[in-house]
Chains A and B, each alone.
Chain A
Amino acid sequence: MIKEAVYKGNLGTMEYFQLIQKASKKEEKEIEKAVKEGDWDTYKKLVKKILGINLK
């Protein structure tokens, strides 16, 4: 697993795969909702909660 994303406003594709695969059904819906709404802040919080990665 890549430890830290170093680009702002972007995410790693493999990180995204891991995020979806590790998320519970409820979390997966929250992720999809955040992505659909373009809600980067909520998305970042979910990434931190599920993968422990701090996005910029």
Chain B
Amino acid sequence: MKFNSYLKESSLSRILTHIKGNNNFGVILFFRKEIPDKENEDNYKELVSIVRSMGYGFIPLKGGYIGDEGFFAEKSLFIPNIKRKEIIDLGIKYNQFSVIHKNDNNFALIGTNKAAGVGKILDTFKTDGKGIDVDDVGDMFKDFFSSLLKEFHRNKKFLFRMDEKIETSMYYEKKHGAKWKNIFMENDELDFHKLSKFMNEASEEQMSLYRQYIKEQKPKEFKNLVESIND
């Protein structure tokens, strides 16, 4: 991962404290492809206002994939302390497919419309925050966004990046739009010499995994495999 010192102070570290701690939190992605961008934007602003009125703080994030048409990003809110029912209700109100919520029982992707099954646990994430550090948060969010975007991006596996919203004055935002800063970019680089060494020294079992990861398009596992022989 390419992180700089800024990140240690960024939302990633704030998010990490929630993931590692015992507090509830929720993530709601905001996107409905069947409605115009303007309406999506208005609904997003309304959602922000509702979350504020519920007395919660939040971290606005934008995550998605860099593909043929540039950065395809969706906005989301990371909401510390929100109760499960509350975030499910927000997901229902804005007709989202699913939301993410962590409480004492589990850390799960939960359906919020008919197609997904309202309240149905669709997937679960690792609940034990021990051993997670700030460098893992980007990857965790990749999993979150992949789950939340599954409905829209079937079989698309491009590079993942995540931005956080930078607070500006209302005047600035009205004139120039919201300001976002990249805080996580999936590192896709593969060192040719490491790959070469791997190809020369890999066992049959490792070569079998090499082919499997290519077939299944698993870049992270693939890189770890290649680098395991170079360690």
What chain A residues lie within 8 Å of B191 (beta carbons)? 9-10
- A: residues with CB less than 8 A from B are 1-2, 7, 9-17, 20-21, 32, 35-38, 40, 43
Interface size (B, Cβ < 8 Å)? 21
Name the one of B157, B192, B195 contacting A14, with C-beta atoms under 8 angstroms.
Answer: B157
**Known contacts A1-B68, A36-B199, A13 near B192 by CB under 8 Å:** no
**Known contacts A1-B68, A17-B219, A21-B214, A11 near B199 by CB under 8 Å:** no
1/0 contact string of B70-81 vs chain A (CB within 8 Å): 000000000000
Given contacts A13-B222, A15-B188, A38-B192, 18 further A-B contacts (CB under 8 A): A2-B66, A9-B191, A9-B192, A10-B191, A12-B188, A13-B190, A13-B219, A14-B188, A14-B217, A14-B219, A17-B214, A17-B217, A20-B214, A21-B214, A36-B196, A36-B199, A38-B193, A38-B196
Q: What are 18 sample pairs from A and B whose C-beta atoms fall under 8 A apart?
A: A1-B67, A1-B68, A2-B66, A2-B188, A9-B192, A10-B189, A11-B195, A12-B190, A13-B189, A16-B214, A17-B214, A17-B222, A32-B199, A35-B196, A36-B199, A38-B193, A38-B196, A40-B192
* 7 shortest interchain CB distances as A-B pairs: A13-B219, A38-B196, A12-B188, A10-B189, A36-B199, A13-B190, A35-B199
1/0 contact string of B160-195 vs chain A (CB within 8 Å): 000000000000000000000000000011111101
In the complex, the chain B residue whose C-beta lies closest to that of A55 is B192
Report the bound CA distance from A7 to B219 in whole Å: 17
What chain A residues lie within 8 Å of B188 (beta carbons)? 2, 12-15
Interface centre among B157, B190, B191, B192 (most CB of A within 10 A): B192
1/0 contact string of B194-228 vs chain A (CB within 8 Å): 01100110000000000000100101001100000
Contact B68 A16 (CB under 8 A): no
Chain B residues 128-181 with CB under 8 Å of chain A are 157-159
What chain B residues lie within 8 Å of A16 (beta carbons)? 190, 195, 214
Name the one of B159, B193, B199 contacting A2, with C-beta atoms under 8 angstroms.
Answer: B159
Contact A13 B223 (CB under 8 A): yes
In the complex, the chain B residue whose C-beta lies closest to that of A16 is B190
**Known contacts A2-B66, A9-B191, A14 near B196 by CB under 8 Å:** no
Report the bound CA distance from A13 to B198 in whole Å: 14
In the complex, the chain B residue whose C-beta lies closest to that of A19 is B214
Report the bound CA distance from A8 to B224 in whole Å: 21
Contact A43 B192 (CB under 8 A): yes
